[in-house]
Amino acid sequence: MLWVQLVVISVTGFAVRGQDPTEVFGVTYEWNKLDFTWPDDSFKARFLDSSQFIPENTTISGVKVWRDRLYVTLPRWRRGVPVTLASVPLPTAGRYLNTSPKLEPFPSWEMQHVGNCSALQNVQNVEIHPDGYMWVIDSGRVDTLSQHPDSRCAPKIFVFDLSSGTSPGVIVREVTFPDSVISRDTYLEDIVLDTDGSGYTYISDSSENDPGLIVYSWKENRSWKVRDGRSMRADPGVRSLSINGVYVDINRNIAGLALSPVSDSGQRRLYYSPLGSYSLFSIPTSVLRDETHAVGDVSGYVKTHGRKRSISQGMVMDSHGVLYYGLLGENAITKWDTNLPFEGNQHKIAQDNNLLQWPASFGFDSQLRNLTVVSNRLQNFLSGRVHLNEPNFRIITAFTGTKSYLYPRTGIDYATSSHRTTEILDGSFSGDRNTIHQSRHEHITGNNHLNAGGRMTPILNMIAVLVITRLAVA
């Protein structure tokens, strides 16, 4: 008798399914606690002994993809965060995958030194231009959730060249801001890039005292700030939010940003929302670029689209004008085709009370046309309830068939058409989330990661299977 025994070596795929089966999400990476590629063990020991590394104070916030790397940000909200910008390999088919890889500091350990204002201090988000330039927004202040934040360094933008073959990570520009733009409590929350050739960048400043949108002109190497109290400040009636029974204060100002794709007319809109608000707003970029108008009263140009189903932090736009954003109070992700009215067209695409606690940040892998999400259970971090013996941070991925807003609209629009992607996983999970009980799936091993249509299947994650064949004689 011939029989086959399957031994699962590594499992990283989990189905997270929502109302619309267009996207099927899978967990790419998962960490109980974060660790780094230290120069040596003694280096790590010194950081632990001096409280320069406190694992429960270290969390992932932002994520972006460039070629074969995932770049993640680690804000220095509390003491003990040794690295504020790092990367891990992007999973590829046909190789063994470490589901909790160590983070590699970017661009180096030397650029992570707290108090050295020439180094990175407190990075919340980055954006990567299609030409390989990474824009890093650094708030300067560290320990911002402590009673005594360290304000030695001023907010900056660092622009790194990722495409330089010999030494990727070379700084090509370092930008500081005038006093008219920043305040003592400036916090650079999110960033989007205008790739229509104009060279403008838009950054949200969630400052408690002076929130607004910072506009930076690459060509002129100067910046100005756009303010609107109604749309950029938190709603006074929104104070706290319960996530899995944990209440957190979310009365924060403007947070996530998303930029519409380039239209035939060349007009673009910048979408945004305060963390402490259920409303979604937008403003034409033509207004933001005109400094004379931008520094004045812009309230007449701001459009209120309507009420979201819950509070959200991160958001992202694809190349077809579909806006993706989190619903923090529902442990969910939703999308809206901005070509349609907002009301009645918000579609929840994923919801999971375990895997999607606090979907914080979004990015696109525009080569594979996947949406990448960070879920970081931030409510536990904010309330001091982080347990290092259970998963706290996840990077979750789904195939959408579209690219980032940074790219021209091309190809089939899987996100807005009636097309449905192939569902790989259809089963339940075991209690430890390390084994998938498969009842119906497509195998992804070796080079078999493309379906008949030639595109990437929705789940990036591979299951490495050791097949042991035994021949038994009956």
pLDDT tens-place string over residues 52-62: 999 999 999 99
CB atoms within 10 A of CB 5: 9
Strand order in the sheet with 133-138: 123-128, 133-138, 156-161, 170-176
Greater model confidence, 141 or 431:
141
What's the pLDDT score for residue 127? 98
What's the pLDDT score for residue 6? 23
Question: Which of 323, 363, 327, 310 shows the shortest CA–CA distance to 62?
Answer: 363
CATH topology of domain 2-471: Neuraminidase (2.120.10)
Task: Determine the 3-state secondary structure of 49 from DSSP.
Answer: helix
Average pLDDT over every residue of 373-377: 98
pTM here is: 0.85
Question: Which of 463, 464, 465, 460 shows the shortest CA–CA distance to 70?
Answer: 460
What's the pLDDT score for residue 442? 27
Greater model confidence, 96 or 150:
150
Name 287's Cβ contacts closer than 8 Å, sequence gap at least 6: 226, 293, 294, 298, 301
Distance separating alpha carbons of residues 84 and 359, to the nearest angstrom: 19
Q: How confident is the model at residue 411 (pLDDT cuts 50, 70, 90)?
A: low
pLDDT tens digit sequence for 240-298: 999 999 999 999 999 999 999 987 777 899 999 999 999 999 999 999 999 999 999 99
Average pLDDT over every residue of 378-396: 97
Q: Is 385 left (phi over 0), alpha (psi -120 to 50) or beta?
A: alpha
pLDDT tens digit sequence for 128-178: 999 999 999 999 999 999 999 999 999 999 999 998 776 778 999 999 999
- Does the N-terminal peptide bond of residue 55 adopt cis geometry, omega within 30 degrees of 0? no
Distance separating alpha carbons of residues 238 and 253, to the nearest angstrom: 11
Strand intervals (E) in 368-443: 370-375, 393-399, 427-429, 436-438
Q: How confident is the model at residue 5 (pLDDT cuts 50, 70, 90)?
A: very low
Q: How confident is the model at residue 106 (pLDDT cuts 50, 70, 90)?
A: very high
Average pLDDT over every residue of 433-451: 26
What's the pLDDT score for residue 291? 96
For 44, list phi and psi in degrees, rounded to 5: -65, -40
Residues facing residue 128 across a β-bridge: 134
Residues facing residue 257 across a β-bridge: 272
Greater model confidence, 196 or 330:
330
Distance separating alpha carbons of residues 415 and 407, to the nearest angstrom: 15
Task: Determine the 3-state secondary structure of 382 from DSSP.
Answer: helix
Q: How confident is the model at residue 427 (pLDDT cuts 50, 70, 90)?
A: very low
Among 34-38, 168-172, 187-191, 446-450, the range scoring the smallest mean pLDDT is 446-450
Residue 458 has pLDDT above 90, yes or no: no
Q: How confident is the model at residue 96 (pLDDT cuts 50, 70, 90)?
A: low
Residue 26 has pLDDT above 80, yes or no: yes
The mean of the pLDDT values for the chain is 84
Average pLDDT over every residue of 211-235: 97
Percent of the chain predicted with pLDDT > 90 = 75
Average pLDDT over every residue of 2-15: 32
What's the pLDDT score for residue 197? 82
What's the pLDDT score for residue 166? 66
Residue 215 has pLDDT above 80, yes or no: yes
Q: Which residue has the tokens 């809206």?
A: 336
What's the pLDDT score for residue 13? 41
What's the pLDDT score for residue 432? 33
